[in-house]
Structure 1
Amino acid sequence: MGRTIQSLERAAAVLRLLAGGERRLGLSDIASAIGLAKATTHGLLRTLQQEGFVEQDPGSGRYQLGAELLRLGNSYLDVHELRARALVWTDDLARASGEAAYVGVLHQRGVLIVHHVFRPDESRQVLEVGAMQPLHSTALGKVIAAFDPVAHNEVMEDELTAITERTVTDSGTFARNLELVRARGWASDVGETWDGVASVAAPIVDRRRMPVGAVGITGAVERMQIGSDLDPRLVAAVRDCARSVSRDLGAGRF
């Protein structure tokens, strides 16, 4: 087993202790429960408090869990609710399109794949859940960058690196492309990330009409295009899937 970081283990012990039992605990109670000296425990609590994971009641001096943990917990629940709501619809999308379907969310200046439905054929495929994709070249990434202000700021601050010969690296051109994505409600990637591969994606929004991710399909260019244009039937299928997931998240009809 690999070595662990003792300070993180101790911090986790503090958080678990505060998460169960009494709502608030004093310094002595916490130190005694986790078997550490008061000075060491106080240092842990002070650091956790600075990061927002722990709060101290000004009247009693007792400690409780902080609001930052709630924010992180909500993010966790949001992603898992998104994946749960997308399961049936992305299965239908993969069957209807004949291509692999993906759901992605913004994570660490990229797109984190949180759900992947294999292309419905007998070909060998690798599950890509947990993989990261670039914001600036993939259809999923462009959709998220176009509709999520945080993602937009992040991608415009970063250098747009060339992945293939077709990757857009000029910031002005890229900004205009995002305007087009917002206007038409979907994004594409034709050979910008993988040679010979095309993708289409559309945004997923929640009950507040805020963007929470994107859904899309990916396949060989020759299957995804009719002539030089993306197959409108596939674009429509992706947009319908995005609307269906959004409605299940409470967005209503749009």
Structure 2
Amino acid sequence: MPGPIQSLSRAAAIMRLLAGGERRLGLSEVAAALDLAKGTAHGILRTLQQEGFVEQDPESGKYQLGAELLRLGQSYLDVHELRARALVWADDLARATGEQVYLGVLHQQGVLIVHHVFRPDDSRQVLEVGSMQPLHSTALGKVLLAYDPVARGELHGADLKAYTSRTLTDPAGLDAECALTRERGWAGAVEETWEGVASAAALIQDRRRNPVGAVCISGAVERICEAGFVRPELVASVRDAGRSISRDLGAARF
């Protein structure tokens, strides 16, 4: 059996790298992150750009994922039952809380964002459908870790990255956080991945009561939190959304 084609593997690695960041990356950053020669990285980026999978900012010269990749991904997401069932509830949650809403599912060692509702104001926002979030430092990830054994298995033996000073990186601390999540029925993350950002998430189950995803709100700490804790009314809204989506998927009341 023939082996993998190196250029395609490198192109896939570049797209994963661009999907995982919050900012555009320059040629040198891409090459250094993937241990590629600048010429090699530049050639792959130019090809991806020509095909619409990557876009280059004309002012900074830095790269980000392109619209063509989102269009192709949308063909999968449109038939994804979880996303289809959650559309109305996610919109309602954004309107009720005034914050952006994410729907995420387990994917390898992270959370894949399959739906994103913008915060209902006039601020400039970037669509994050198709991006990845960490399992151990986000509200979405913590919910999946607490209820899905497969998610926990993905992190077994992994070195957990500290994104901020508040990130949980030791297994014992993460176990305690998962136990707390199961006890209260929701997960929170306050400046654990991004400074100044807080979130709250609830589980989504299918008709067999299997964990199939999570829904969360995310926004500035000063709006989400009060006295350092997620505001109770926001937690209630997120939990209601999780239960509503689960019921639409056939889960019994919980």
TM-score, normalization by structure 2: 0.69
Contact 1:187 1:202 in 2 (8 A): yes
Deviation at 1:102, TM superposition (A): 0.5
Q: Hey, what does 2:159 align to over in structure 1?
A: 159
1:84 counterpart = 2:62: no
- Secondary structure at 1:122's aligned position in 2? coil
Quick one: distance in 2 between partners of 1:163 and 1:230?
20
Quick one: distance in 2 between partners of 1:101 and 1:185?
18
Report the CA distance shift for 1:175/1:156 in structure 2 as closer, same or farther (over 3 A).
farther
Q: Hey, what does 2:141 align to over in structure 1?
A: 141
- Structure label with greater radius of gyration: 1
Contact 2:108 2:154 in 1 (8 A): no
Quick one: distance in 2 between partners of 1:77 and 1:224?
28
Deviation at 1:159, TM superposition (A): 1.4
Task: Number of aligned residue pairs: give it.
Answer: 182
Deviation at 1:156, TM superposition (A): 3.4
Q: Hey, what does 2:233 align to over in structure 1?
A: 233
Q: Cα deviation per residue 1:122-176 (whole Å; 9 max; x = unaligned)? A: 0000000000000000000010111111001212331111011110111111111
Q: Hey, what does 1:103 align to over in structure 2?
A: 103
Q: Cα deviation per residue 1:84-131 (whole Å; 9 max; x = unaligned)? A: 000000000000000000000000211000000000000000000000
Q: Hey, what does 2:174 align to over in structure 1?
A: 174
Counterpart AA for 2:251: A
Name the stretch that deviates more: 236-245 or 161-170: 161-170
Report the CA distance shift for 1:77/1:230 in structure 2 as closer, same or farther (over 3 A).
closer
- Secondary structure at 2:194's aligned position in 1? coil
Quick one: distance in 2 between partners of 1:192 and 1:80?
29
Q: Hey, what does 1:52 align to over in structure 2?
A: none
Q: Hey, what does 1:128 align to over in structure 2?
A: 128
Quick one: distance in 2 between partners of 1:200 and 1:229?
10
- Secondary structure at 1:124's aligned position in 2? coil
Instruction: List structure 1 segments (4+ residues) > 3 angstroms apart after TM superposition.
Output: 76-79
- Secondary structure at 1:200's aligned position in 2? strand
Q: How does 1:63-82 map to 2 (within 5 A)?
A: 80-82=80-82
Deviation at 1:226, TM superposition (A): 1.5
What are structure 1's unaligned runs of at least 5 residues?
6-75
Counterpart AA for 2:91: D
- Secondary structure at 2:198's aligned position in 1? strand
Quick one: distance in 1 between partners of 2:124 and 2:180?
35
Counterpart AA for 1:88: V
What are structure 2's unaligned runs of at least 5 residues?
6-75
Quick one: distance in 2 between partners of 1:187 and 1:158?
21
Report the CA distance shift for 1:79/1:214 in structure 2 as closer, same or farther (over 3 A).
farther
Q: Hey, what does 1:253 align to over in structure 2?
A: 253
Contact 1:145 1:155 in 2 (8 A): no
Report the CA distance shift for 1:103/1:77 in structure 2 as closer, same or farther (over 3 A).
closer
